[in-house]
Amino acid sequence: MTEPLRTAAELGLRACPHCGAVWQGAAEGEPCARCGTRLHRRKPHSLQRTWAYLIAACILYVPANLLPVMITKSLLGSQDDTILSGVIFFWVSGSYGLAAIIFIASFLVPLFKLTALVLLAVMAQRHSDWRQLERAKLYHMLEIIGRWSMLDVFVVSLLAGLVRIQGFAEITAGVGIAAFGAVVVLTMLASLSFDPRLTWDSRDVMEDEEPDPRMPSKERTA
């Protein structure tokens, strides 16, 4: 019968996050013999920092969607647009592609990232083994879409410059764009703070961090 696969943590291995060297039997917090970086089994205080960034992002997500992100001034007057009202404006005016980009990048993506990070943090905190592979893929997906999170800010900036050049009106960024930018930055920090290896940690592994007794405690391999 095939033995179950064992994780690096169960084998007493620690990888240096700076130079990539792998050490066996290294103590928690011991400096890497190659570059001097402190070695840790998991990112220190990963869940605490992730929750702090997530809570702040959730709080700012409300004003980011309620406050105006774009202020348009023309001969006909002034108009303040939130993210959703801006989407409706561009859709009604026939700019379907621009409306879709703003709706996806500014509303759906931040909401998806917040929901996914909360799910990952809750499951990791409970040391759950529920759909571990799918959760690992979900985190990888967050890393991919995270780089497009500032797309709405770029769209507003480009649109403001285009309108000013043509002389039709004047578009300036509203207070909501600052809250939205803060949400994007905080979700990025939350994603970076979260240690994806926590997804694979079962409750038994967390309770027993001793290295494999069959292997020498001082042996090191780079």
Distance CA 50, CA 124 (A): 11
pLDDT at 102: 79
Q: How many C-beta neighbours within 10 Å does residue 43 have?
A: 17
pLDDT at 119: 94
pTM greater than 0.95 (yes/no): no
Domain 44-200 has CATH 1.20.272: no
pLDDT tens per residue across all 222 residues of the chain: 456 666 676 777 888 877 878 888 777 778 888 888 887 777 888 899 999 999 999 999 999 889 988 777 767 777 787 888 878 877 888 888 878 887 888 888 888 999 999 999 999 988 888 888 899 899 989 888 876 766 656 766 666 565 554 556 677 777 888 888 899 889 989 998 998 888 887 654 444 444 444 434 334 444
Give the Å distances, CA to CA, from 14 to 21, 41, 140, 197, 208: 8, 6, 22, 12, 15
In sequence order, the β-bridge partners of residue 81 are: 70
- CA angle centred on 203, ends 14 and 200, rounded to 5°: 50
For the chain, the domains span 44-200
**Angle formed by the axes of helices 83-92 and 46-66, to 10°?**
50
pLDDT in tens, 56-68: 999 999 998 899 8
Helix spans in the chain (H): 46-66, 83-92, 96-103, 109-125, 132-146, 151-166, 175-193, 203-207
Q: How many C-beta neighbours within 10 Å does residue 29 have?
A: 10
pLDDT at 186: 93
pLDDT at 89: 79
